[in-house]
């Protein structure tokens, strides 16, 4: 019985659910009003032909996907999990116009990162983005994948945050994912880009990682206060916090 169910489940996940999910998400995204802040920095980089690696928190993925699928925000390659849920999400993201590399911090992440690096090197008009806290967390703690991607492609790191008061929150998820409600106003804000040296020692690498983490913490904390978004388990700084220069 189990063997008989697998092809049906695979068919649903690969063929039936993604088109439905894509249409539902696209319809939801079109209902949102965007409050863009400092996004002109991205437009200047795109106009100058400077490749970018977008850095964001995993919990804000749903709030950003539609925004960055708009033509004026450039072309992007993303990383998506190799799990069964990731298969459906991949097809949704491809339906939105993104190029997708399959992998995560749990499985296939190194291979997907190499694919993203190769794609950006071959197509200098292609940008990439990664959740700094990966696919499993810890929540809000920057990992090294985003920095490696920027370093290997000669890209600038661009920290980006999204926030809205009118949203659902999945409290049982490790990252406390938020999904804006229909008609929500979604604030999207970019920080100033961060240069990534081609070579760094361990101390310099950790300093840059901490700077990226701190920048995203400050960006999200400030934006959440302005939008009125509240969480009884707010994002916290890591114990190793150092001042952002």
101 in a structural domain? yes
| CATH at 81 | 3.40.1130.10
pLDDT given at position 154: 96
Domain enclosing residue 87, as ranges? 2-227
54 in a structural domain? yes
73 in a structural domain? yes
Q: Give how many domains the chain has, as a whole number.
A: 1
pTM value surpassing 0.95: no
What is the mean pLDDT of each successive set of 10 residues along the chain, which is 245 residues long? 58 69 90 98 96 97 95 94 70 90 70 93 95 92 95 97 97 95 98 96 97 97 97 82 41
124 in a structural domain? yes
216 in a structural domain? yes
Please report, in angstroms and rounded to a whole number, the separation of the first and last CA atoms in the chain: 60
Q: Does the N-terminal peptide bond of residue 138 adopt cis geometry, omega within 30 degrees of 0?
A: yes
233 in a structural domain? no
pLDDT given at position 85: 62
Q: Measuring CA to CA, how many Å separate 90 from each of 41, 52, 96, 216?
A: 28, 21, 10, 25
91 in a structural domain? yes
158 in a structural domain? yes
């Amino acid at each position: 019985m189990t063997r008989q169910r697998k092809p049906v489940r695979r068919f649903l996940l690969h063929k039936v659910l993604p088109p439905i999910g894509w249409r539902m998400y696209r319809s939801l995204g079109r209902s949102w009003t965007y409050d863009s802040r400092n996004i002109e920095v991205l437009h200047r980089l795109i106009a100058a032909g400077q490749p970018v690696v977008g850095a964001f928190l995993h919990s804000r993925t749903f709030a950003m996907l539609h925004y960055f699928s708009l033509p004026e925000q450039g072309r992007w390659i993303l990383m998506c999990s190799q799990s069964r849920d990731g298969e459906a999400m991949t097809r949704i993201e491809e339906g939105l116009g993104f190029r997708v590399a399959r992998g995560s911090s749990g499985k296939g992440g190194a291979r997907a990162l190499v694919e993203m690096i190769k794609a950006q090197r071959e197509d200098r008009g292609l940008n990439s983005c990664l959740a700094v806290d990966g696919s499993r967390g810890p929540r809000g703690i920057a990992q090294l994948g985003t920095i490696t991607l920027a370093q290997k492609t000669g890209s600038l790191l661009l920290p980006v945050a999204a926030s809205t008061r009118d949203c659902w929150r999945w409290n049982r998820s490790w990252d406390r994912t938020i999904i804006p409600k229909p008609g929500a106003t979604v604030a999207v804000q970019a920080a100033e880009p961060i240069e990534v040296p081609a070579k760094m020692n361990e101390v310099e690498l950790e300093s840059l990682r901490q700077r990226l983490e701190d920048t995203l913490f400050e960006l999200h904390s400030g934006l959440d206060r302005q939008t009125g978004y509240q969480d009884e388990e707010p994002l916290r700084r890591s114990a190793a916090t150092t001042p952002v220069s």
